[in-house]
Amino acid sequence: MVGPDYVRPTAPVPAAYKEMDGWKAAEPADAAPKGDWWTAYHDPGLDALMVQVDVSNQTIAGAEARVRQANAANAAAQAALYPFVNLSAGATRNNAANVNAGRSTNANYNLGVGASWEPDLWGGIRRNIEGAGASAQASVADLANARLAAQTALAQNYILLRLQDAQLRLLHDTVAAYQVSLTFTRNQYNAGIVARGDVAQAEAQLSTTQAQVYEAELTRRQLEHSIAVLLGKPPAELTIAPQPTLVAVLPATPVAVPSTLLERRPDIAAAERRAAAANAQIGVAQAAFYPTITLSAGGGVQNSLIGSLLALPSRYWTLGASLAQAIFDAGLRSAQKDEAVATYDATVAAYRQTVLTAFQDVEDSLAALSLLARESVEQDAAVAATRQAATIAMNQYRAGTTSYLAVVVLQSSALTAERNALALQARRFSASVGLVRALGGGFSAEQLAANAR
C-alpha cells in the first residue's frame, strides 16, 4: 500500500509525578480504579444515581450514536473492497413513423445482471478502511470520555450537595443558638442590665445568619437541578431529600507511573486514534496519483416479445476493462496530499497537547489532595479554638464582664471557621473525584478494538 505506515507519535512522558510526595505508589494489580470507581466513596445514594446516568444522560446518548455512525462509516468503507453487482429489468414501447408502413409500434423487454469491480492495486481503499477503523475507535474513546465526564460531574455535584446539607444544618443550628442569644439579650435589656445597642447587634447577627441560610439553600437547589440534567430529567422531576450527616468517605486512590496514563485516559486514546486516521488519509491521497483499473461484466436476455424473453437467442453477455489515469489536474492531487499531511501534523500536535494536559490534571489533583489534607488539619484546629473563644465570651457576657460586641465578633469567627472547614472538605472531595477522572476512571485502551467494528 502506498502512503506511510502508522507509528504512534511520541509524547513527553516523565518518569514520575512531581506531586507524588506522601502518596502510595500503585502496585500492578491496582494501577487505577476499575469498573464502578464511585463505590469507593461508600455512599448508597451516589450509587443509586450513577445507575441512571449511563441510561438517561443525553451527552452519553449522543456519543453512543456517534459510535454507531462511525461503525457504519467503517462498514461502508470496507464495502468498497468488493464488486458491485446490480440487477436490472425493463420494458419499453414506442410508436414512430415508418417510411414503408406509415406508423408502427415496437416493444423491447430486457432482464440482466451487471457487476463492476475496482481492484485496490495501490491500497487507497485499504488506507481508507484503516482510517475509518481508527475513527470508529476514536468514537468509542469519545463515548468513554463522555461517560466518565458525566459520572465525575454527578459525583462532584452530589457530594457538594451533601456538604451543602451539612452547611444548612450548621446554619440552622446557629440560627437557633442566635435566637436564644437574642431572647437572652432582650431580657437583659428589659431588666435594664444591657443597652439597646446589644439587642440591635443580636438582631443583626440573627438576620445576617438567616440570610446565609437562603444563600446556602439556593446553592443546594442549583446543585439538585444540575444533577437532574445529568440524569436526563427536567429539574422539576427530581427531589433529593436532605441527608443529616455526610456518608461519603474520601478513598485512597493509588497512582501508577505516568507512562500508564497513555493507556488509561480515554481522551488520550481518542486523540491517538485520530492521528492514526489522519495518517491513513495520506495514503488515500497518495493513491490518487496512480492509475485505476475497473473490471466489468454483464449478461441477461433481451427481446421484443415478452414470451420469447427467456429463449436461447435472447441471451447476451459483456466483459470489459478500463484504465484511467489523470494527466492534468492543476495541482489538485498534490494539494490534497499536502492537506492530508498538514491534517496529520495537526492531530499529532493535538495528541501531544492532550498528553501534557493529562499529566497536568494528575499533578493538580495530587497537589490539591496533599495540601488540602494539611490545610484541613489546621482548619479543624481553628474551628476548635474559635468555638472555645465564642463560648468563653458568651459566658463572660452573661456574667457582665464583656460587651456583646465581643461575643458577636467571636461567634461570627466561629461560624466562618466551621463553614470554611466544610468548604475545605468539599474541595477535598472534588479533588478526589478529579484525580479519578485524571487517571481515566476504569478505562483501558484495550477496549477500543472490541467496541469498534
Average the pLDDT over 398-405 and give the result: 84
The answer to the question of residue 312 being in a domain is: no
The answer to the question of residue 99 being in a domain is: no
The pLDDT confidence band at residue 450, using thresholds 50, 70 and 90, is low
pLDDT at position 100 is: 64
pLDDT at position 26 is: 52
pLDDT at position 445 is: 75
The three-class DSSP label of residue 301 is strand
The answer to the question of residue 211 being in a domain is: yes
CB atoms within 10 A of CB 366: 23
The answer to whether residues 444 and 263 touch, using CB atoms and an 8 Å cutoff, is yes
The answer to the question of residue 445 being in a domain is: yes
Distance between CA atoms of residues 176 and 216, nearest Å = 16
CATH of the domain at 419: 1.20.1600.10
Least confident among 292-306, 409-423, 424-438: 292-306
The answer to the question of residue 13 being in a domain is: no
Distance between CA atoms of residues 43 and 243, nearest Å = 11
Average the pLDDT over 405-423 and give the result: 91
pLDDT at position 318 is: 87
Beta strands in 286-328 (DSSP E): 292-303, 315-324
Helix (H) or strand (E) holding 5: none
pTM, 2 dp? 0.87
Q: Is the confidence at residue 299, as pLDDT, over 90?
A: no
DSSP structure class, residue 25: B
CA-wise closest residue to 188 among 172, 201, 173: 201
Q: Is the confidence at residue 309, as pLDDT, over 80?
A: no
The answer to the question of residue 114 being in a domain is: no
pLDDT at position 407 is: 87
Q: Is the confidence at residue 443, as pLDDT, over 80?
A: no
The answer to whether residues 301 and 315 touch, using CB atoms and an 8 Å cutoff, is yes
Q: Is the confidence at residue 227, as pLDDT, over 90?
A: yes
The pLDDT confidence band at residue 91, using thresholds 50, 70 and 90, is confident
pLDDT at position 28 is: 45
Domain encompassing residue 145: 28-80+120-290+333-451
Percent of the chain with pLDDT over 90: 60
pLDDT at position 101 is: 59
Average the pLDDT over 155-184 and give the result: 94
More confidently predicted of 66 and 404: 66
Distance between CA atoms of residues 369 and 17, nearest Å = 14
The pLDDT confidence band at residue 398, using thresholds 50, 70 and 90, is confident
Instruction: Please give the mean pLDDT across all residues of the chain.
Output: 88
CB atoms within 10 A of CB 82: 9
CA-wise closest residue to 307 among 112, 111, 113, 109: 109
The pLDDT confidence band at residue 60, using thresholds 50, 70 and 90, is very high
Question: End-to-end alpha-carbon separation of the chain, Å?
Answer: 22
Average the pLDDT over 373-381 and give the result: 93
Q: Is the confidence at residue 118, as pLDDT, over 50?
A: yes
pLDDT at position 31 is: 45
Q: Is the confidence at residue 25, as pLDDT, over 80?
A: no
Q: Is the confidence at residue 260, as pLDDT, over 80?
A: yes
Average the pLDDT over 322-331 and give the result: 88
Least confident among 81-95, 207-221, 367-381: 81-95
The answer to the question of residue 105 being in a domain is: no
Domains held by the chain: number: 1
Helix (H) or strand (E) holding 436: helix 404-438
CB atoms within 10 A of CB 437: 23
Q: Is the confidence at residue 98, as pLDDT, over 70?
A: no
More confidently predicted of 24 and 418: 418
153 phi and psi, to 5 degrees? -65, -40
Contacts 24+ apart (CB under 8 A), 409-415: 410/386, 411/178, 411/181, 411/205, 412/205, 413/386, 413/389, 414/383, 414/386, 414/387, 414/389, 414/390, 415/170, 415/174, 415/209
DSSP structure class, residue 438: H
Q: Is the confidence at residue 30, as pLDDT, over 50?
A: no
Least confident among 57-61, 75-79, 366-370, 444-448: 444-448
More confidently predicted of 89 and 208: 208
Q: Is 26 exposed, middle or buried (0-12, 13-18, 19+ CB in 10 A)?
A: middle
Q: Is 441 exposed, middle or buried (0-12, 13-18, 19+ CB in 10 A)?
A: buried
Q: Is the confidence at residue 245, as pLDDT, over 80?
A: yes
303 phi and psi, to 5 degrees? -160, 155
Which residue matches cell numbers 443509586? 48
User: Which amino acid, residue 205?
Assistant: Q
pLDDT at position 244 is: 80
Least confident among 42-56, 79-93, 95-109, 425-439: 95-109
Q: Is the confidence at residue 265, as pLDDT, over 60?
A: yes
Distance between CA atoms of residues 358 and 340, nearest Å = 27
181 phi and psi, to 5 degrees? -65, -40
The answer to the question of residue 163 being in a domain is: yes
DSSP structure class, residue 401: S
Q: Which three cell numbers stand for residue 342?
A: 498538514
Q: Which three cell numbers stand for residue 398?
A: 452573661
pLDDT at position 303 is: 74
pLDDT at position 110 is: 82
Could you tell me how many residues make up the chain? 453
Q: Pairing state of beta strands 292-303 and 84-98?
A: unpaired
More confidently predicted of 221 and 307: 221
The pLDDT confidence band at residue 286, using thresholds 50, 70 and 90, is very high
